[in-house]
Structure 1
Amino acid sequence: MIGIIHMGAAKTGSSTLQEFFHLNRERLRDAGVFYPRSPGAKQHGLLAESCIDPAREPEREAAERRNREFRESFAREMERDAGGMRHLLVSSELFHARLWNAGEVEKLKALLEPWCSSWRIVFYMRRQDRYAASLHSTYLRRGGESDAILDVLNPHHFDYGGILAMWSGVFGSGALLPRVFERDALAGGDIVADFIEASGLPLALDGCARPPDRNAALSADAQWFLREFNRRRPRSVDAMSDGETLLRRNIAAFLESRCAGAPALPTRDAARAFYAGYRASNADVARRWFGRDALFDESFDDYPDVAADAAPDAMDITAPLLRELAANSLWLDEDRRKRLANAKSTPALLAILAGYLEECDPALAQRLRDAVPD
């Protein structure tokens, strides 16, 4: 089989591609392309995680057990279901984000080699300042508290020349198919059509199910609210607990549906300075892989001269969020949920909630009363 690896990066349409592969799994199979389920129904994060050096795992024994179980499950699925297939397609932005050295990439190759004899590896690159700015919302969704939009936790993610060199050293330069993630650079301005063209997938788009447009960008106000929420969470809260994860997911979903819009951006000077650190490396990538001098469009006109610093009225977001969370809460009976739904004003809503919380959390009830607008 030909191994087709979509390695990301994040914030380059990866979720849209993975949803497309998932929706069209049977059409892919009819075309001789196997998109496995055992690494993840939509995206193959377990495949990437299984290749991470155990020394980097905080719970080494648990990680090794998870990886062993995954490899056994993956091998069973391949032996049972991949017979007669001509292509193996795997997709995860974690291939880019989590595999940091050649040894980890070599593990991925070794894991797939029993079934694959050649490779096509598609990697989408977004201009570094735009990539970092887009990652800021993800950082906030995960509990981040900083308002430094261009802070990066792992510079490895942005060194495209180093990434291409590392993967080329393992799979061979002929296997790498780097692409620029800019609308004008994509085939038909469409990430799905571009991937099919780049990878050589034997699939016609006509008749394929297409995922809905994914536009869940958080507005600057929503980002501010999420950052302030994170800063005020008690330090005793376990950020990895199921309850905390569910709460963050519900808040993010609410903000995406009610507060989508233009995100906060760094200033034009800050974006230029950030990008300048990668310009020389990008030029090397452009010459090596594309036969030109510049990798990206280098306009910075979409950034403001001065950063906006006005905070929204927090209650405009808080009151409907509390209503939404309470309406879906299992600890409120139907009558109480109806009372909340029928509250005609923010003060009325907060007063009702404070009354419900009085017995179980008097301190929180008092904080709600204190927050009632005059």
Structure 2
Amino acid sequence: MTGGDGSARPDLVLHIGQWKTGTTSIQRILGARREELAALGVRYPRSPGHANHQLLPASLVPAERLQNIHPATWEGMEPAARLARFRAEFAEEMAGLPTGTRLVVISAEQLAGMLVEEAEIAALRSLVAPFFGRIRVAMYLRRQDQHYESSYAQRLRVGDLRPPRFPDGGPEVLVEYDYARTLGLWAAVFGEAAVEPRLYEPQSLRGGDIVEDFLVQYGIPLEVPADDPHRRSNPSLAPEAIDLVRILGARIEQEQGALDGDSPLWCRMIQAVDEALPGRGWKPPPAEAAAFLARFEAVNEAVRRRWFPDRPSLFSDPPRAEPGMLPPATPPPPDPAAALEAACALIARETASRMASEAHLHAQIARLRERLDEPENALNAWRAVLRNDPTHPVAIARMAEAAHRSGREQEALDHLGRLRQLHPGHALVARLTRMLARPASQTVISAGPASPPATR
């Protein structure tokens, strides 16, 4: 298919979700590698968002449906004004796709989550169809019980403090888990052949990895190291972290009357817990998971017949309840002892992080003092660095240099010994060894470009 100028129009992959199926990992990797992608003839647009392209679905729904969009998305603007700017920028970006672009990828789990009526999906098609040839709709499906288990931590992150238990109702209430309806809506608009559902389970993913599976499935030969941190974005929480968050949230509600899940305080607290206490998340009893999954048996079978006819069942390894096992009548309250353990680990990590930040700040001050030729003030700043990080190599070296200049050779040698012990391969070890072999009167310390490299 060609455009108005006779050039071939690129293909489009619409990655519509669902959330908690590695979408964040895919988006962050694509967003961080736009230049590499461009060299491959692949474009990951900027106008809908840096990583998550949620401005696109947000622009297609009524204003009252925008409450789940993170406030930072609006960049300090009113939503209507930000969306108007997006529409103009998106049209310009699509019309200006460089020659040689063979594929464009748009990724936002909100596409499946927010566009829930056929007319809304049709509006999306009208918006993108003029710019592209083949359009492929990508959606990863996760077994409903596993998805809700994983999403529980996400609900806590936004201030939903309800205890961990499966919600009431089946596909008629929990429409986001009616995969037959969702896929049917997109197929009705884009055509049966365009919709390409895949299963989010290790045995169904290439290499057991969502990023590798997505890149191979859509012909994107992007090299992503196995240890790239973006591969494991948005992990769940350790069970004790869940208890801690529930107790913290309840305390804020008690003191302030309500918990604002978008407040800077809550967001920073959640970020700290995420970084310090990742884990396996909430794991319900098998009987409870099996009972929840059974509510979706009919819709899952409809998906299997239509999209996965060669599989005996849609999902592998469903939970099985032992005879006589019944789900608990009420979910357990937070465990104070487990929460206390989590709080101690969190405080220790936050304290270490704060000390590292202060050490970095004092090191910057020390270097500034050196450039201003204020040796005593610089030395005091290096001492402050060591109070926060006793292993800082540059600060140890500066202590040795100061002692050497003052004729305190044994003290200088002691500092050198400590530096050699802590950082045996550091360039400062050899530099200090040469310096201390000369008399102090022959030593010239420069705070300019000849100063040793600041590696920390």
> Tell me, what secondary structure is at the counterpart of 1:114?
helix
Moved more, 170-179 or 17-26: 17-26
SS at match of 1:113: helix
| Structure 1 pair 341–226 and aligned structure 2 pair: CA distance change class (3 A) | farther
Q: CA deviation at 1:232?
A: 2.0
1:92 to 94, 102, 108: 108
**Equivalent position to 2:260, from 236, 239, 243:** 239
Counterpart of 1:283 in 2: which secondary structure?
helix
Maintained 8 Å contact 1:4/1:121: yes
Give the CA deviation at 1:272. Answer: 1.0
After the TM superposition, which of the residue ranges 164-173 and 50-59 deviates more from structure 2?
50-59
User: Alpha carbons of 1:221 and 1:183: their partners in 2 closer, same or farther (altered >3 Å)?
Assistant: same
Structure 2 match to 1:368? none
Q: Which of 104, 107, 123 is residue 139 of structure 2 equivalent to? A: 123
Q: Secondary structure at the match of 1:140?
A: helix
Structure 1's 196 and 57: CA in aligned 2 closer, same or farther, altered over 3 A? closer
Q: 2:211 aligned with 1:188, yes or no?
A: no
TM alignment of 1:117-266, pairs within 5 A:
117-151=133-167, 155-199=174-218, 201=219, 203-205=220-222, 207-208=223-224, 211-212=228-229, 213-214=231-232, 216-233=235-252, 234-236=255-257, 239=260, 244-245=263-264, 247-266=265-284
Q: Which residue pairs with 2:74 in the alignment?
A: none
Task: Check if 1:275 corresponds to 2:297.
Answer: no
Alignment check: 8 A CA contact 1:122 1:198 kept? no
Kindly provide the amino acid, as one letter, of the partner of residue 261 in structure 1. G
Question: 2:105 is paired with a residue of what secondary structure?
Answer: strand
Amino acid at match of 1:311: D
Which residue pairs with 1:317 in the alignment?
342
For residues 59-98 of structure 1, the C-alpha deviation after alignment (integer angstroms, 9 at most, x for no partner) is 9x94433322111011222334444312211011111222
Contact 1:177/1:198 (CA < 8 Å) preserved in 2? no
- Conservation of the 8 A alpha-carbon contact between 1:132 and 1:151: no
| 1:237-292 Cα deviation digits (max 9, x unpaired) | 67266xx23x2233223223332223222221111111111111111111111113
1:168 offset after TM fit, Å?
0.6
Q: How has the CA–CA distance of structure 1 residues 114 and 235 changed in structure 2, closer, same or farther, with 3 Å as cutoff?
A: farther
Out of 32, 41, 49, the position equivalent to 2:41 is 32
Deviations 1:12-46 (A, max 9, x none): 11111112212332222122211111111112111
**Alignment correspondent of 1:347:** none
| 1:45 maps to 2:54 | yes
Alpha-carbon separation, structure 1, partners of 2:35 and 2:326: 50
The aligned residue for residue 84 of structure 2 is: 68
Deviation track 1:307-347 (CA, whole Å, cap 9, x = no partner) reads 794714243333554566677599xx99xx99x989xxxxx
TM-score by length of 2: 0.65
Whole-Å separation in 2 of the counterparts to 1:284 and 1:252: 39
Equivalent residue pairs, number: 332
1:23 matched to 2:28: no
The answer to which of 153-162 and 99-108 deviates more is 153-162
User: Aligned AA for 1:108?
Assistant: L
SS at match of 1:117: coil
Q: Please tell me the residue identity of whatever aligns with 1:38.
A: S
Aligned to 1:5: 14
Corresponding letter in the other structure for 2:343: T
Partner Cα separation in structure 1 for residue 98 and residue 120 of structure 2: 25
Residue 120 of structure 2, aligned match among 78, 99, 104: 104
Q: CA deviation at 1:164?
A: 0.4
Same amino acid, percent of matched pairs: 28
Structure 2, unmatched stretches of 5+, are 1-9, 70-76, 363-383, 390-456
Measured after TM superposition, the shift of residue 152 of structure 1 is 7.5
Determine the C-alpha separation between the residues in 2 that align with 1:328 and 1:239: 25
TM-score after normalising by structure 1: 0.78
CA distance in 2 between partners of 1:16 and 1:56 (Å): 25
Indicate the SS of the match to 1:196.
helix
The one-letter code sitting in structure 1 at the alignment partner of 2:184 is A
Change (3 A) 1:306 1:166: closer
> 2:211 is aligned with what amino acid?
V
Between 1 and 2, higher relative CO (CA 8 Å, sep ≥ 6) is seen in 1
CA distance in 1, matches of 2:261, 2:340: 28
Letter in 2 for 1:184: Q
Per the TM alignment, residue 188 of structure 1 is displaced from its structure 2 partner at its CA by 2.2
Structure 1 residues 152 and 90, CA, compared in 2 at 3 Å: closer, same or farther? farther
Q: CA deviation at 1:134?
A: 0.5
Compared CA separation, residues 14 and 152, structure 1 to 2 (3 A): farther
- Unaligned stretches of 5+ residues in structure 1: 343-374
Question: What letter is aligned with 1:165?
Answer: G
